[in-house]
A and B are shown apart, each in its own frame.
Chain A
Amino acid sequence: MAQVHLRDVVKNYGPLEVVHSINLDIADNEFVVLVGPSGCGKSTTLRMIAGLEEISGGEIFIGDNVVNDLPPRERNISMVFQNYALYPHMTVRENLGFSLKIAKRPQAEIDKAVDEAAEILSLTPLLDRKPGALSGGQRQRVAMGRAIVRHPDVFLFDEPLSNLDAKLRTQMRVEIKKLHQKVRSTIVYVTHDQVEAMTLADRIVIMRDGHIEQIGTPLDVFENPVNTFVATFIGSPPMNLLNGVVRDGAVVLEDGTTVPVPPGYQAREGQAVQLGMRADNVMPVGHSLPPTEHMAQIEMDVNLTEPLGTETLLFAELAGAEVQAKMLNPRPVEAGERMTFQVMLDKCHLFDAESGAALRG
């Protein structure tokens, strides 16, 4: 049983505070993914949970115990490091079995665990090599293997797939998911890659500049971003944001286009806002959007198209901002063509222009 709780955890390096009083509750067996731009404090947070970095304030619980003062080896965790951190003088086999050897497990058990992990990670042919003779991706898999041979209370992964090619990454993502279903343990996983975050996570934690911006299920953070940062960080392509002012229950964009305030949102008369809409919810008229109650129509000039096969991404201009839209059942589009688009209003968002916070009513 291992829940992890972070209570007002702070980290400073000298006078520089890099993690600002964060709170996070991770349930037993939960798969939590930390995402955020580079330098936002993901690794630091993970390393504080691991005990590799002293915390400057607050408390960390693993299970029911405060682990603030426990060294890593007493926390029963295993970790995959961002830059592998393999033991260069040991073979892959020795690297994988090292933690079990330190724990004085019988050799037969070690061999079995190592062979199993090597099998899962396709490392069997490499078992007798040294890390120096492996490619980046192979090293990363050894680092993963080293974490999974044990059965720790908590797995900590710091961008474990960042150096793999696209195919291997997809494959490994599936393996991690399977692993989690099989061994049922708590996982804290750091990544840049929001696809990884969306597909793996039970819950996503979005961080920025040492703060947690939002915690929620993948669907939740995708559908109900609490601010413009989360809205543009999660989802690909990023959500379109258009500046406007609220007049008579509608958002008036800078060029005079009006779009009704999306259902579920509320704004003061005259408030400066940003209207958010995802490309998936902006489509040329006549292109397969099921008619719903809340529809708005806008006219835009298409500047550029990006055919992706089954769909085409359209880059259009509205009120001086770039808007990305999607066209299913693609047809050829001329650059500069003026098209009428349908916007699914009930999938749109409204944010305060100044604070960026969602204006949920």
Chain B
Amino acid sequence: MKSLKLPPWLVLLLPAIIILAAVVLIPLVLSLYSSFTAYKLTRPDSLYRWIGTFNYEKAIGDAKFWAAFGRTVLLLTVALNLEMLFGLGLALMVSKVTRGQRALRTMMMFPMMFSPILVGFQFKFIFNDNVGLVNNALQSLGITDQAIPWLVDGNLAMFSIIFAEVWTATSVFAILILAGLYAIPKDPLEAAKVDGCTAWQSFRYVTLPFLMPFIYIAMAIRSLDVARAYDIVQIMTNGGPARRTELLWTLIGRTGYVDARMGYANAMGYISIFLAIFFTVFFFRKLTAARAELGMGV
């Protein structure tokens, strides 16, 4: 019997190929394929009903999809910028602390240690209009005597979600920016002082350019995170009220698992991925530019 002989390089690469195929390739191909079918989770045989680009056309023509898309972009923009500003402020303050800085740095990481699901539950409770901490506090302080519908009013609900996002992730920015602050050489700052800079001017013209690469790295990481935001929103508002906080992935999740229309959900997912890719590429471009600016090579 002639045994099947594989060339040695293939044998050696085989484990990697098998793992990659199982983990990346098969799900990718399968989901891509299913986005061209009328696949419904409840009817497995529909996986073979090829309907071409119908799902994509439907998504592109779907106002709900674009509303969720726009809302995700909004959340990305607002949350990232707020996190950046707060993170920068926090990092600047912590870097000025002379005693107990190590403990502060550890404490800064606490919000990142909780599962987003738990954070969602926590804020759902905090912003609850009847028993929530916020309303209770506001009422006891006499600032208002009404129950503010934090999670029920559309705009307030979005605000609450952004609040929760910012609370969890500001420390990502703070930590990366703090690393940047530690890496800044002392001399240019001294030169700036001699050149007549006020504290603000030193910050604006010397410190900030040095921090930009770190800010862009944080932005790139966080843009991927926020673009796939699901858990906090799902728990706090479930996309409601009346879809006023519906984001891309809560919409996609609902379409896929609740409505069982997996093919359509996958098609929307593929369109959404471009959003994440766009932001990542954008921030990496910025990062490269900021590094080149500092003469750190490309």
Contact = CB atoms under 8 A, between A and B. Distances in A.
Secondary structure of the A side of the interface?
Answer: mixed
A81 B187 contact: yes
Interface stretch (A127-135, A222-230, A245-253): A127-135
Contacts of B205: 87, 98, 102
B294 interface: yes
A103 B196 contact: yes
Contact of B193 (A73, A88, A103, A146): A73
B193 A72 contact: yes
Nearest to B291: A89
B201 interface: yes
Contacts of A103: 196
Contact of B196 (A83, A88, A99): A99
A319 to B, nearest CB: 50
Given A99-B195, A103-B196, A146-B195, A84 B190 contact: no
Nearest to A95: B191
Secondary structure of the B side of the interface?
Answer: helix
A52 B195 contact: no
B280 to A, nearest CB: 24
Contact of A132 (B187, B198, B206, B295): B295
A147 to B, nearest CB: 9
Given A87-B206, A99-B196, A103-B196, A81 B294 contact: no
A102 B201 contact: yes
A72 B192 CA distance: 9
Contacts of B209: 89
A133 B210 CA distance: 18
Contact of A102 (B187, B195, B294, B296): B195
The size class of the interface chain A forms with chain B is: 20 to 34
B48 to A, nearest CB: 58
B191 to A, nearest CB: 4
Contact of B194 (A73, A84, A87): A73
Interface string A131-152: 1110000000000001000000
B295 A130 contact: yes
B106 to A, nearest CB: 27
Interface residues of B, number: 20
B188 to A, nearest CB: 5
B153 interface: no
A99 B188 CA distance: 13
Contacts of B197: 73, 102
A87 B202 CA distance: 11
A85 B190 contact: yes
B194 A79 contact: yes
Most chain-B CB neighbours within 10 Å: which of A83, A84, A89?
Answer: A89
A83 B190 CA distance: 12
A126 to B, nearest CB: 14
A317 B201 CA distance: 63
B194 A78 contact: yes
Interface string A41-61: 000000000111000000000
27 contacts: A50-B194, A51-B193, A52-B190, A71-B193, A72-B190, A73-B194, A73-B195, A73-B198, A77-B194, A78-B195, A81-B191, A84-B187, A85-B188, A86-B188, A86-B191, A88-B188, A88-B295, A89-B293, A89-B294, A98-B195, A99-B195, A102-B196, A102-B201, A103-B196, A131-B295, A132-B295, A133-B295
Interface of B: 187-188, 190-198, 201, 205-206, 209-210, 293-296
